[in-house]
Amino acid sequence: MKIAISGAVSTGKTTLGTALAAALDLPFIEENLREMFGPGQAGQRTKADVATGLLQALETKRALESAQPGGFVIDRSPADILNFWFATQLAQHPRMQELYDRCATYLADYDAVVLLPWGVIALEPEVRVEDNIRRNTNAWAQLRGSVTISGLVHHFVAPERIVTIPKTVTTPDDRLRFVQDALAQISPR
């Protein structure tokens, strides 16, 4: 199966993705945006650089997926990249249509997209520089991101291929079981 894990920052995507990949004996493809949005990068790039970087991240993601014909679990879907595009105020960028079209094509190719709920896991109060992680810890910005990502996934992906984890499913083990049960009902393409 080709499975994408999607959701706002600090919702548990990486934790769930690594556990799901191990449980399904599939390769886990890590997110590839930390280099662009890591420590010292915020505000350091022009909009043109960010646009180019996001398009490159999307194509890198696609190449990594293509190298796994037996399936995979990937941290962040193209909807997450499109959310970053909007969050960095690139909606008027000349390559907007190109990114939109690529995201539509790529999202339609997943067997399942798993959406994690916002507000279940507390946002980290500070940047963890030692892990090369920079997160926007503004809860309202993260809510906006969560709503945008969810809306984009529902816009591009067939409803029967979306697995939405309820807010009441909070522990990593319970989330894993919930997703495994939901995936058992989805036929691979």
What is the reported pLDDT for 55?
92
Q: So what's the pLDDT on residue 50?
A: 84
What pLDDT does 124 receive? 61
Residue 188 lies in a domain: no
Provide the pLDDT for residue 41: 55
Answer whether residue 173 is part of any domain.
yes
Distance CA 187, CA 1 (A): 9
What φ, ψ does residue 160 adopt, rounded to 5°? Answer: -75, -5
Q: How many structural domains compose the chain?
A: 1
Domain of 77, in residue numbers:
2-183
CA atoms of 45 and 53, how far apart (whole Å): 10
Tell me the β-bridge partners of 179: none
**In this structure, is residue 189 part of a structural domain?**
no
Which pLDDT score, from 0 to 100, does residue 32 have? 77
Closest CA to 150 of 181, 176, 119, 127: 119
Task: Identify the pLDDT of residue 36.
Answer: 62
Instruction: Render each residue's pLDDT in the chain as its tens digit; 189 residues.
Output: 999 999 988 899 999 999 999 999 999 999 877 666 555 555 567 888 888 888 999 999 999 999 999 999 999 999 999 998 898 888 888 999 999 999 999 999 999 999 999 988 875 655 554 444 455 677 888 899 999 999 999 999 999 999 999 999 999 999 999 999 999 999 998
In what order do the strands lie in the sheet containing 112-115? 28-29, 72-75, 2-6, 112-115, 162-164
pLDDT score of 47: 83
pLDDT of residue 132: 47
Position 109 in a domain: yes
**Per-residue confidence (pLDDT) for residue 123, from 0 to 100:** 59
Tell me the CATH number at 79: 3.40.50.300
pLDDT of 133 reads: 47
CA pair distance 73, 118, nearest whole angstrom:
20
